[in-house]
Chain A
Protein backbone atom coordinates (compact mmCIF):
# COMPACT_ATOMS: atom_id res chain seq x y z
CA UNK A 1 0.00 0.00 0.00
CA UNK A 2 1.20 3.52 -0.81
CA UNK A 3 0.41 6.65 1.20
CA UNK A 4 1.17 10.11 -0.19
CA UNK A 5 2.19 12.89 2.17
CA UNK A 6 4.23 16.09 2.26
CA UNK A 7 8.02 16.04 2.36
CA UNK A 8 9.53 17.73 5.43
CA UNK A 9 13.02 16.38 4.74
CA UNK A 10 13.65 14.41 1.57
CA UNK A 11 15.39 11.07 1.40
CA UNK A 12 14.97 7.31 1.71
CA UNK A 13 14.51 5.31 4.89
CA UNK A 14 13.33 1.78 5.51
CA UNK A 15 12.56 -0.27 8.59
CA UNK A 16 10.00 -1.72 10.95
CA UNK A 17 7.25 0.68 11.97
CA UNK A 18 6.91 1.79 15.60
CA UNK A 19 3.55 3.52 15.92
CA UNK A 20 1.98 5.63 18.67
CA UNK A 21 -1.14 7.78 18.85
CA UNK A 22 0.60 10.08 21.38
CA UNK A 23 2.86 13.09 20.68
CA UNK A 24 6.59 12.64 21.39
CA UNK A 25 8.97 14.99 23.19
CA UNK A 26 12.53 14.11 22.23
CA UNK A 27 14.10 16.37 24.89
CA UNK A 28 13.60 14.55 28.17
CA UNK A 29 11.30 11.98 26.56
CA UNK A 30 13.85 9.86 24.65
CA UNK A 31 17.30 8.76 25.86
CA UNK A 32 19.75 9.88 23.14
CA UNK A 33 22.31 7.25 24.19
CA UNK A 34 20.02 4.25 23.78
CA UNK A 35 17.14 5.50 21.64
CA UNK A 36 14.70 4.32 24.29
CA UNK A 37 11.50 6.23 25.10
CA UNK A 38 11.78 7.22 28.77
CA UNK A 39 8.74 9.47 29.25
CA UNK A 40 6.71 7.99 32.11
CA UNK A 41 3.19 7.03 31.09
CA UNK A 42 3.95 7.16 27.34
CA UNK A 43 2.56 4.29 25.21
CA UNK A 44 6.07 3.66 23.89
CA UNK A 45 7.77 3.80 27.31
CA UNK A 46 10.68 1.34 27.31
CA UNK A 47 10.60 0.82 23.51
CA UNK A 48 13.59 1.72 21.33
CA UNK A 49 13.14 3.98 18.29
CA UNK A 50 16.59 3.06 16.91
CA UNK A 51 16.46 2.13 13.21
CA UNK A 52 12.66 2.20 13.21
CA UNK A 53 10.27 4.13 11.04
CA UNK A 54 8.81 6.17 13.89
CA UNK A 55 5.15 7.02 13.36
CA UNK A 56 3.47 9.56 15.68
CA UNK A 57 0.92 12.37 15.33
CA UNK A 58 3.17 15.34 16.14
CA UNK A 59 6.04 16.55 18.33
CA UNK A 60 5.78 18.38 21.64
CA UNK A 61 8.01 19.93 24.29
CA UNK A 62 11.23 21.93 24.40
CA UNK A 63 12.95 23.15 21.24
CA UNK A 64 16.14 21.52 22.58
CA UNK A 65 14.49 18.34 21.23
CA UNK A 66 15.85 19.19 17.76
CA UNK A 67 19.38 18.81 19.13
CA UNK A 68 18.39 15.54 20.86
CA UNK A 69 17.51 14.08 17.44
CA UNK A 70 20.89 15.28 16.13
CA UNK A 71 22.62 13.60 19.09
CA UNK A 72 20.73 10.37 18.36
CA UNK A 73 21.84 10.47 14.73
CA UNK A 74 25.49 10.88 15.81
CA UNK A 75 25.09 8.10 18.41
CA UNK A 76 23.49 5.73 15.91
CA UNK A 77 20.25 5.58 17.91
CA UNK A 78 18.04 7.71 15.63
CA UNK A 79 14.99 6.41 13.80
CA UNK A 80 15.51 5.51 10.10
CA UNK A 81 12.60 7.78 9.20
CA UNK A 82 9.76 9.81 10.71
CA UNK A 83 6.10 9.82 9.68
CA UNK A 84 3.81 12.43 11.29
CA UNK A 85 0.16 13.34 10.97
CA UNK A 86 1.13 17.02 11.33
CA UNK A 87 4.79 17.94 11.77
CA UNK A 88 5.77 20.90 14.03
CA UNK A 89 8.92 22.98 14.52
CA UNK A 90 10.91 20.78 16.93
CA UNK A 91 10.69 17.57 14.90
CA UNK A 92 10.98 19.33 11.50
CA UNK A 93 14.16 21.17 12.51
CA UNK A 94 15.52 18.03 14.19
CA UNK A 95 14.97 15.92 11.06
CA UNK A 96 16.53 18.55 8.79
CA UNK A 97 19.71 19.10 10.82
CA UNK A 98 20.10 15.33 11.35
CA UNK A 99 19.38 14.24 7.75
CA UNK A 100 16.48 11.98 8.78
CA UNK A 101 13.80 11.46 6.08
CA UNK A 102 10.57 12.98 7.37
CA UNK A 103 7.09 13.10 5.87
CA UNK A 104 3.79 14.37 7.23
CA UNK A 105 0.09 14.76 6.27
CA UNK A 106 -0.14 10.97 6.19
CA UNK A 107 -3.09 8.95 7.56
CA UNK A 108 -0.98 7.32 10.27
CA UNK A 109 -3.82 5.00 11.37
CA UNK A 110 -3.07 2.94 8.25
CA UNK A 111 0.34 1.96 9.67
CA UNK A 112 0.66 -0.71 12.41
CA UNK A 113 3.63 -1.42 14.67
CA UNK A 114 5.68 -4.21 13.08
CA UNK A 115 4.77 -3.33 9.46
CA UNK A 116 7.77 -3.04 7.13
CA UNK A 117 7.70 0.53 5.84
CA UNK A 118 9.72 2.51 3.30
CA UNK A 119 9.82 6.31 3.04
CA UNK A 120 10.91 7.84 -0.24
CA UNK A 121 10.53 11.64 -0.18
CA UNK A 122 6.75 12.12 0.17
CA UNK A 123 5.73 8.49 -0.48
CA UNK A 124 5.26 6.01 2.37
CA UNK A 125 5.06 2.37 1.22
CA UNK A 126 3.74 -0.36 3.55
CA UNK A 127 4.75 -3.92 2.62
Chain B
Protein backbone atom coordinates (compact mmCIF):
# COMPACT_ATOMS: atom_id res chain seq x y z
CA UNK B 1 0.00 0.00 0.00
CA UNK B 2 2.93 2.38 0.72
CA UNK B 3 5.05 2.94 -2.38
CA UNK B 4 8.04 4.44 -0.58
CA UNK B 5 10.81 2.15 0.68
CA UNK B 6 10.66 1.70 4.47
CA UNK B 7 13.37 0.24 6.69
CA UNK B 8 12.40 -2.43 9.20
CA UNK B 9 12.48 0.16 12.01
CA UNK B 10 10.25 2.56 10.05
CA UNK B 11 7.80 -0.26 9.30
CA UNK B 12 7.68 -1.13 13.02
CA UNK B 13 6.75 2.45 13.81
CA UNK B 14 4.08 2.46 11.11
CA UNK B 15 2.67 -0.78 12.56
CA UNK B 16 2.24 0.92 15.92
CA UNK B 17 4.90 -1.05 17.78
CA UNK B 18 6.52 2.17 19.02
CA UNK B 19 3.28 3.76 20.21
CA UNK B 20 0.64 6.22 19.03
CA UNK B 21 2.79 9.27 18.25
CA UNK B 22 5.30 7.26 16.23
CA UNK B 23 2.48 5.54 14.29
CA UNK B 24 0.66 8.81 13.47
CA UNK B 25 4.00 10.37 12.51
CA UNK B 26 4.89 7.53 10.16
CA UNK B 27 1.38 7.66 8.62
CA UNK B 28 1.91 11.36 7.90
CA UNK B 29 5.47 10.94 6.54
CA UNK B 30 4.53 7.90 4.41
CA UNK B 31 1.48 9.65 2.93
CA UNK B 32 3.48 12.80 2.11
CA UNK B 33 6.28 10.67 0.68
CA UNK B 34 3.84 8.88 -1.62
CA UNK B 35 2.01 12.07 -2.65
CA UNK B 36 5.25 13.80 -3.66
CA UNK B 37 7.02 10.72 -5.02
CA UNK B 38 9.74 10.26 -2.39
CA UNK B 39 11.69 7.00 -2.65
CA UNK B 40 12.70 6.91 1.01
CA UNK B 41 13.00 8.82 4.26
CA UNK B 42 16.20 10.73 5.07
CA UNK B 43 17.63 11.73 8.45
CA UNK B 44 17.22 15.35 9.51
CA UNK B 45 19.64 17.36 11.64
CA UNK B 46 16.99 19.46 13.36
CA UNK B 47 13.32 20.42 13.36
CA UNK B 48 11.52 23.75 13.85
CA UNK B 49 7.86 23.35 14.87
CA UNK B 50 5.24 26.00 14.03
CA UNK B 51 1.59 26.02 15.10
CA UNK B 52 2.20 27.03 18.73
CA UNK B 53 -0.24 29.89 19.31
CA UNK B 54 -3.47 28.82 21.01
CA UNK B 55 -5.10 31.50 18.85
CA UNK B 56 -4.55 29.26 15.79
CA UNK B 57 -4.70 25.82 17.43
CA UNK B 58 -7.92 26.13 19.41
CA UNK B 59 -9.06 23.37 21.77
CA UNK B 60 -8.90 20.71 19.07
CA UNK B 61 -5.25 21.48 18.31
CA UNK B 62 -4.47 21.38 22.03
CA UNK B 63 -6.23 18.03 22.34
CA UNK B 64 -4.21 16.62 19.43
CA UNK B 65 -0.92 17.82 20.95
CA UNK B 66 -1.87 16.24 24.30
CA UNK B 67 -2.56 12.93 22.54
CA UNK B 68 0.87 13.06 20.88
CA UNK B 69 2.60 14.10 24.13
CA UNK B 70 1.45 10.89 25.89
CA UNK B 71 4.16 8.80 24.23
CA UNK B 72 5.80 11.08 21.64
CA UNK B 73 9.42 12.08 22.28
CA UNK B 74 11.55 13.99 19.76
CA UNK B 75 14.63 12.23 18.37
CA UNK B 76 16.52 15.30 17.11
CA UNK B 77 17.13 18.91 18.21
CA UNK B 78 13.68 20.48 17.98
CA UNK B 79 12.91 24.17 18.53
CA UNK B 80 9.59 25.98 18.73
CA UNK B 81 7.96 28.89 16.87
CA UNK B 82 6.46 31.90 18.73
CA UNK B 83 3.45 31.36 20.98
CA UNK B 84 0.40 33.63 21.29
CA UNK B 85 1.88 35.52 24.24
CA UNK B 86 4.97 36.37 26.27
CA UNK B 87 5.20 33.31 28.52
CA UNK B 88 6.31 35.40 31.52
CA UNK B 89 5.02 38.89 30.94
CA UNK B 90 1.68 38.21 29.22
CA UNK B 91 -0.38 40.38 31.60
CA UNK B 92 1.37 43.60 30.61
CA UNK B 93 0.68 42.80 26.93
CA UNK B 94 -3.06 42.71 27.66
CA UNK B 95 -3.55 38.94 27.25
CA UNK B 96 -6.57 37.48 29.08
CA UNK B 97 -6.32 34.91 31.92
CA UNK B 98 -8.32 32.39 29.86
CA UNK B 99 -6.03 32.66 26.86
CA UNK B 100 -2.91 32.43 29.05
CA UNK B 101 -4.18 29.28 30.78
CA UNK B 102 -4.82 27.54 27.43
CA UNK B 103 -1.53 28.75 25.93
CA UNK B 104 0.35 27.33 28.93
CA UNK B 105 -1.30 23.93 28.37
CA UNK B 106 -0.04 24.00 24.76
CA UNK B 107 3.48 24.81 25.97
CA UNK B 108 3.30 21.99 28.59
CA UNK B 109 2.45 19.49 25.86
CA UNK B 110 5.45 20.58 23.74
CA UNK B 111 7.69 20.40 26.80
CA UNK B 112 6.62 16.81 27.52
CA UNK B 113 7.63 15.91 23.96
CA UNK B 114 11.19 17.07 24.69
CA UNK B 115 11.02 20.18 22.51
CA UNK B 116 13.10 23.24 23.48
CA UNK B 117 10.63 25.96 24.45
CA UNK B 118 12.53 28.52 22.38
CA UNK B 119 9.40 30.27 21.01
CA UNK B 120 11.16 32.15 18.25
CA UNK B 121 10.94 32.36 14.46
CA UNK B 122 14.74 32.87 14.38
CA UNK B 123 15.99 29.46 15.63
CA UNK B 124 19.24 30.09 13.75
CA UNK B 125 20.03 32.93 16.19
CA UNK B 126 19.53 30.93 19.39
CA UNK B 127 21.38 27.66 18.84
CA UNK B 128 19.55 25.75 16.11
CA UNK B 129 21.98 26.55 13.29
CA UNK B 130 22.17 23.91 10.54
CA UNK B 131 25.27 23.55 8.39
CA UNK B 132 25.56 24.03 4.64
CA UNK B 133 23.92 21.15 2.78
CA UNK B 134 22.32 19.63 5.89
CA UNK B 135 18.82 18.14 5.59
CA UNK B 136 16.39 19.60 8.13
CA UNK B 137 12.59 19.67 8.55
CA UNK B 138 11.48 23.18 9.43
CA UNK B 139 8.19 24.99 9.46
CA UNK B 140 7.89 28.82 9.72
CA UNK B 141 8.22 30.18 6.20
CA UNK B 142 10.73 32.96 7.01
CA UNK B 143 13.09 30.54 8.79
CA UNK B 144 12.68 27.95 6.02
CA UNK B 145 13.67 30.57 3.44
CA UNK B 146 16.63 31.72 5.57
CA UNK B 147 17.85 28.13 6.07
CA UNK B 148 17.61 27.30 2.35
CA UNK B 149 18.91 30.57 0.93
CA UNK B 150 21.29 32.16 3.44
CA UNK B 151 22.69 29.04 5.15
CA UNK B 152 22.32 26.60 2.26
CA UNK B 153 20.63 23.86 4.32
CA UNK B 154 17.83 21.84 2.68
CA UNK B 155 14.21 21.85 3.82
CA UNK B 156 10.71 21.88 2.45
CA UNK B 157 8.18 24.29 3.91
CA UNK B 158 6.67 22.02 6.56
CA UNK B 159 3.41 22.57 8.41
CA UNK B 160 3.14 22.13 12.19
CA UNK B 161 2.05 18.45 12.19
CA UNK B 162 4.48 17.33 9.47
CA UNK B 163 7.37 18.99 11.34
CA UNK B 164 6.31 17.24 14.56
CA UNK B 165 6.13 13.94 12.67
CA UNK B 166 9.70 14.48 11.43
CA UNK B 167 10.83 15.22 15.00
CA UNK B 168 9.31 12.00 16.41
CA UNK B 169 10.85 9.86 13.66
CA UNK B 170 14.04 11.92 13.16
CA UNK B 171 13.45 11.74 9.40
CA UNK B 172 11.55 13.33 6.55
CA UNK B 173 10.52 12.03 3.11
CA UNK B 174 13.13 12.90 0.48
CA UNK B 175 11.30 15.04 -2.09
CA UNK B 176 11.00 18.67 -3.18
CA UNK B 177 13.78 20.96 -1.95
CA UNK B 178 15.73 18.02 -0.45
CA UNK B 179 16.65 17.04 -4.04
CA UNK B 180 19.22 19.13 -5.94
CA UNK B 181 17.26 18.83 -9.21
CA UNK B 182 14.42 20.80 -7.60
CA UNK B 183 16.72 23.55 -6.34
CA UNK B 184 17.67 25.11 -9.66
CA UNK B 185 16.56 28.73 -10.09
CA UNK B 186 13.93 29.41 -12.76
CA UNK B 187 13.86 33.21 -12.99
CA UNK B 188 16.68 35.78 -13.03
CA UNK B 189 15.89 38.99 -11.17
CA UNK B 190 18.33 41.88 -11.60
CA UNK B 191 17.95 44.56 -8.90
CA UNK B 192 18.68 48.08 -10.18
CA UNK B 193 17.26 49.88 -7.15
CA UNK B 194 19.26 51.22 -4.20
CA UNK B 195 18.44 49.92 -0.72
CA UNK B 196 19.09 52.39 2.08
CA UNK B 197 17.08 51.28 5.12
CA UNK B 198 15.88 48.02 6.70
CA UNK B 199 12.30 48.31 5.41
CA UNK B 200 13.63 48.62 1.84
CA UNK B 201 14.53 44.92 2.14
CA UNK B 202 10.92 44.14 3.01
CA UNK B 203 9.81 46.18 0.01
CA UNK B 204 12.33 44.34 -2.18
CA UNK B 205 10.93 41.03 -0.86
CA UNK B 206 7.45 42.15 -1.91
CA UNK B 207 8.67 43.10 -5.41
CA UNK B 208 10.69 39.89 -5.89
CA UNK B 209 7.88 37.74 -4.45
CA UNK B 210 5.33 39.17 -6.89
CA UNK B 211 7.66 38.74 -9.88
CA UNK B 212 8.89 35.27 -8.90
CA UNK B 213 5.34 33.92 -8.34
CA UNK B 214 6.02 30.49 -6.86
CA UNK B 215 9.32 30.16 -8.71
CA UNK B 216 12.91 30.13 -7.43
CA UNK B 217 14.58 33.48 -8.15
CA UNK B 218 18.28 34.07 -8.87
CA UNK B 219 18.84 37.63 -7.67
CA UNK B 220 21.73 39.78 -8.91
CA UNK B 221 22.72 43.39 -8.34
CA UNK B 222 23.05 43.19 -4.55
CA UNK B 223 26.61 43.85 -3.44
CA UNK B 224 26.19 43.59 0.31
CA UNK B 225 23.60 42.29 2.75
CA UNK B 226 23.66 42.11 6.53
CA UNK B 227 22.04 39.47 8.71
CA UNK B 228 19.07 41.66 9.72
CA UNK B 229 18.48 42.73 6.12
CA UNK B 230 18.48 39.12 4.90
CA UNK B 231 16.20 38.06 7.76
CA UNK B 232 13.71 40.76 6.76
CA UNK B 233 13.97 39.94 3.05
CA UNK B 234 13.40 36.20 3.67
CA UNK B 235 10.20 36.87 5.62
CA UNK B 236 8.85 39.18 2.93
CA UNK B 237 9.78 37.32 -0.26
CA UNK B 238 8.01 34.11 0.81
CA UNK B 239 4.96 35.93 2.26
CA UNK B 240 4.42 37.72 -1.05
CA UNK B 241 4.69 34.77 -3.36
CA UNK B 242 8.10 33.18 -4.02
CA UNK B 243 9.17 29.62 -3.24
CA UNK B 244 11.07 29.37 0.08
CA UNK B 245 14.43 29.33 -1.72
CA UNK B 246 16.35 32.03 -3.60
CA UNK B 247 19.88 32.51 -4.80
CA UNK B 248 21.53 35.87 -4.20
CA UNK B 249 24.66 36.18 -6.32
CA UNK B 250 27.78 36.22 -4.12
CA UNK B 251 25.77 35.82 -0.91
CA UNK B 252 23.96 32.47 -1.06
CA UNK B 253 26.52 29.66 -0.48
CA UNK B 254 27.07 27.84 -3.77
CA UNK B 255 25.52 30.65 -5.86
CA UNK B 256 28.79 31.05 -7.78
CA UNK B 257 28.41 27.58 -9.28
CA UNK B 258 24.77 28.13 -10.35
CA UNK B 259 23.96 29.94 -13.60
CA UNK B 260 21.24 32.62 -13.57
CA UNK B 261 18.37 31.45 -15.80
CA UNK B 262 17.68 33.08 -19.22
CA UNK B 263 14.16 34.17 -18.24
CA UNK B 264 14.98 37.58 -16.73
CA UNK B 265 13.22 40.61 -15.24
CA UNK B 266 14.53 43.70 -13.44
CA UNK B 267 13.53 45.56 -10.30
CA UNK B 268 13.75 49.34 -10.60
CA UNK B 269 13.23 52.17 -8.11
CA UNK B 270 9.59 52.29 -9.24
CA UNK B 271 9.02 48.68 -8.16
CA UNK B 272 10.25 49.48 -4.65
CA UNK B 273 8.00 52.55 -4.49
CA UNK B 274 5.07 50.45 -5.75
CA UNK B 275 5.78 47.90 -2.96
CA UNK B 276 5.58 50.66 -0.31
CA UNK B 277 2.37 51.98 -1.92
CA UNK B 278 0.77 48.54 -1.68
CA UNK B 279 1.96 47.77 1.86
CA UNK B 280 1.13 51.22 3.30
CA UNK B 281 -2.39 52.46 4.01
CA UNK B 282 -3.68 56.03 4.24
CA UNK B 283 -3.43 56.64 7.98
CA UNK B 284 -1.70 59.14 10.25
CA UNK B 285 -2.62 58.25 13.87
CA UNK B 286 -0.62 55.24 15.09
CA UNK B 287 -1.75 53.30 18.19
CA UNK B 288 0.56 50.27 17.79
CA UNK B 289 4.24 50.09 16.92
CA UNK B 290 5.78 46.64 16.65
CA UNK B 291 9.32 45.84 15.63
CA UNK B 292 10.63 42.28 15.36
CA UNK B 293 9.06 40.32 12.51
CA UNK B 294 11.15 38.18 12.27
CA UNK B 295 12.26 38.45 15.91
CA UNK B 296 14.76 41.24 16.66
CA UNK B 297 18.43 40.33 16.81
CA UNK B 298 20.52 41.73 19.68
CA UNK B 299 21.90 44.28 17.22
CA UNK B 300 18.42 45.57 16.40
CA UNK B 301 17.58 45.76 20.13
CA UNK B 302 20.73 47.86 20.66
CA UNK B 303 19.63 50.20 17.84
CA UNK B 304 16.13 50.58 19.34
CA UNK B 305 17.63 51.34 22.78
CA UNK B 306 19.87 53.99 21.26
CA UNK B 307 16.93 55.63 19.44
CA UNK B 308 14.70 55.56 22.55
CA UNK B 309 17.30 57.06 24.90
CA UNK B 310 15.68 59.91 26.88
CA UNK B 311 12.39 59.65 24.96
CA UNK B 312 8.84 58.67 25.99
CA UNK B 313 6.34 56.57 24.06
CA UNK B 314 3.08 58.49 23.46
CA UNK B 315 0.31 57.88 26.00
CA UNK B 316 -2.15 56.19 23.64
CA UNK B 317 0.43 54.24 21.69
CA UNK B 318 1.72 50.76 22.52
CA UNK B 319 5.28 49.88 21.42
CA UNK B 320 6.32 46.20 21.33
CA UNK B 321 9.82 44.89 20.75
CA UNK B 322 9.28 41.28 19.66
CA UNK B 323 12.23 38.98 20.23
CA UNK B 324 13.39 35.65 21.60
CA UNK B 325 13.81 35.06 25.34
CA UNK B 326 17.51 34.46 24.65
CA UNK B 327 18.05 37.86 22.99
CA UNK B 328 16.06 39.56 25.77
CA UNK B 329 18.27 37.98 28.45
CA UNK B 330 21.30 39.37 26.66
CA UNK B 331 19.58 42.78 26.46
CA UNK B 332 18.92 42.60 30.24
CA UNK B 333 22.63 42.11 30.92
CA UNK B 334 23.70 44.84 28.52
CA UNK B 335 21.29 47.46 29.91
CA UNK B 336 19.19 47.80 26.72
CA UNK B 337 16.09 46.46 28.46
CA UNK B 338 16.23 49.20 31.07
CA UNK B 339 16.55 51.96 28.44
CA UNK B 340 13.72 50.55 26.33
CA UNK B 341 11.34 49.96 29.24
CA UNK B 342 12.10 53.34 30.82
CA UNK B 343 10.87 54.95 27.59
CA UNK B 344 7.57 53.10 27.99
CA UNK B 345 8.11 50.44 25.33
CA UNK B 346 7.49 46.76 26.16
CA UNK B 347 9.29 43.58 25.33
CA UNK B 348 7.11 40.94 23.69
CA UNK B 349 9.24 37.81 24.08
CA UNK B 350 8.16 34.35 22.85
CA UNK B 351 5.45 35.91 20.65
CA UNK B 352 4.85 38.31 17.76
CA UNK B 353 2.22 40.37 15.95
CA UNK B 354 1.47 37.54 13.50
CA UNK B 355 0.36 34.99 16.13
CA UNK B 356 -0.80 36.96 19.20
CA UNK B 357 -4.59 37.44 19.55
CA UNK B 358 -4.65 41.07 18.35
CA UNK B 359 -7.84 41.20 16.28
CA UNK B 360 -9.77 44.37 17.17
CA UNK B 361 -7.22 45.67 19.68
CA UNK B 362 -5.43 48.26 17.54
CA UNK B 363 -6.40 50.46 14.61
CA UNK B 364 -3.09 51.34 12.99
CA UNK B 365 0.33 49.71 13.03
CA UNK B 366 3.80 51.10 12.31
CA UNK B 367 6.52 48.52 11.72
CA UNK B 368 9.74 47.79 9.85
CA UNK B 369 8.31 44.52 8.54
CA UNK B 370 6.50 43.81 5.25
CA UNK B 371 5.38 40.42 6.60
CA UNK B 372 4.11 42.10 9.76
CA UNK B 373 1.93 44.37 7.62
CA UNK B 374 0.44 41.39 5.77
CA UNK B 375 -0.68 39.64 8.99
CA UNK B 376 -1.76 42.82 10.77
CA UNK B 377 -4.12 43.65 7.91
CA UNK B 378 -5.74 40.25 8.54
CA UNK B 379 -6.15 41.46 12.14
CA UNK B 380 -8.02 44.51 10.87
CA UNK B 381 -5.25 47.11 11.22
CA UNK B 382 -4.15 49.83 8.83
CA UNK B 383 -0.41 49.54 8.21
CA UNK B 384 2.67 51.73 7.75
CA UNK B 385 6.12 50.34 6.98
CA UNK B 386 9.31 52.33 7.46
CA UNK B 387 12.77 52.50 9.02
CA UNK B 388 13.52 51.91 12.71
CA UNK B 389 13.89 55.69 13.08
CA UNK B 390 10.45 56.31 11.54
CA UNK B 391 8.88 53.63 13.78
CA UNK B 392 10.42 55.06 16.96
CA UNK B 393 9.27 58.52 15.88
CA UNK B 394 5.72 57.17 15.38
CA UNK B 395 5.84 55.60 18.85
CA UNK B 396 6.93 58.86 20.48
CA UNK B 397 4.51 61.16 18.64
CA UNK B 398 1.62 58.72 18.02
CA UNK B 399 1.69 59.89 14.41
CA UNK B 400 3.22 58.79 11.12
CA UNK B 401 4.90 61.74 9.51
Which of A's residues lie within 8 Å of B, judged by CB? 6-10, 32, 63-64, 66-67, 70-71, 73-75, 87-90, 92-93, 96-97, 104
Contact A63–B60 (Cβ < 8 Å): no
Given A64-B160, A89-B162, A93-B162: A70 and B31 interface contact (C-beta under 8 Å): no
A interface footprint on B59-71 (CB within 8 Å = 1, 0 otherwise) = 1110110000000
Asked whether, in the complex, the Cβ of B28 is within 8 Å of the Cβ of A97, the reply is yes
Max count, chain B CB within 10 A of own CB: residue among A6, A7, A63, A90: A63
Is the CB–CB distance between B63 and A74 below 8 Å?
yes
- Please name all residues of chain B whose beta carbon is closer than 8 Å to the beta carbon of A10 when the two chains form the complex: 1
Residues of A within 8 A of B159 (CB): 63-64, 66, 89-90, 93
A93 to B162, CA, bound (A): 7
| Contact mask for chain B residues 152-180; partner A; CB cutoff 8 A; 1 contact, 0 none | 00000011111000000000000000000
In the complex, B51 has a CB within 8 A of chain A? yes
Q: Verify B160–A67 contact, CB threshold 8 A.
A: yes
Task: Kindly identify which residue among B32, B64, B162 contacts A67, using a CB–CB cutoff of 8 Å.
Answer: B64
> Which of chain B's residues have a CB closer than 8 A to the CB of A97?
24, 28, 64, 161
Q: How far is the CB of A82 from chain B (nearest CB, A)?
A: 12
Docked-complex contact B32 and A74, CB < 8 angstroms: no
Asked whether B35 lies within 8 Å of A87 as measured between CB atoms, the reply is yes
Please determine whether A63 and B139 come into contact, CB atoms closer than 8 angstroms: yes
Q: A71-B60, A87-B35, A93-B159 are in contact. Are A63 and B51 (CB under 8 A)?
A: yes
A97 to B28, CA, bound (A): 8
Cβ–Cβ < 8 Å partners of B59 in chain A: 71, 74
How far, in Å, is A18 (CB) from chain B's closest CB?
A: 22
Task: Give A10 to B2 CA distance when docked, in angstroms.
Answer: 11
Q: Which residues of A contact B63 (CB under 8 A)?
A: 70, 74
Q: Of residues A71, A74, A97, which shows the largest number of chain B Cβ atoms within 10 Å of its Cβ?
A: A97
Known pairs A9-B27, A32-B58; list 7 more (Cβ under 8 Å).
A63-B159, A64-B57, A66-B159, A67-B51, A92-B28, A96-B31, A104-B35
Supposing A64-B56, A67-B60 touch, asked if A88 and B35 sit within 8 A by C-beta, the answer is yes
A79 → B minimal CB distance (Å) = 15
Structural contact, A8 and B160, CB atoms closer than 8 A = no
Partner of A6, one of B34, B50, B58, B139: B34
Quick check: B24 and A70 within 8 Å, CB to CB?
Answer: no
Once the chains are docked, how many angstroms separate the CA of A32 from the CA of B59?
11
Report the minimal beta-carbon distance from B280 to chain A, rounded to whole angstroms.
24
In the bound assembly, the distance between CA atoms of A91 and B333 in angstroms comes to 46
Complex contacts, B35 vs chain A, CB 8 Å: 8, 87-89, 92, 104
Nearest CB on A from B72, distance (A): 12
Residues of B within 8 A of A7 (CB): 1
Please name the 8 residue pairs, one residue from A and one from B, whose CB atoms are nearest each other, closest first: A63-B159, A71-B60, A67-B61, A93-B161, A74-B60, A70-B60, A64-B56, A92-B31
The 8 listed contacts between A and B (C-beta, < 8 Å) are A63-B158, A64-B56, A67-B160, A67-B161, A70-B63, A71-B60, A92-B32, A97-B28
Q: Which residues of A contact B61 (CB under 8 A)?
A: 67, 70-71
Which residue, B34, B50, B139, has most C-beta atoms of chain A within 10 A? B34
Chain A residue numbers with a CB within 8 Å of B57 are: 64, 67
CB distance from A112 to the nearest CB of B (A): 26
In the bound complex, how far is the Cα of B50 from the Cα of A112, in angstroms? 38
Bound CA–CA A53/B232 (angstroms) = 43
Which residues of the other chain, B, contact A71 by a CB distance below 8 angstroms? 58-61
Closest to A92 in B: B31
Q: How far is the CA of A64 from the CA of B52 in the complex (A)?
A: 10
A8 B31 Cβ-Cβ under 8 A: yes
B60 to A32, Cβ gap below 8 A? yes
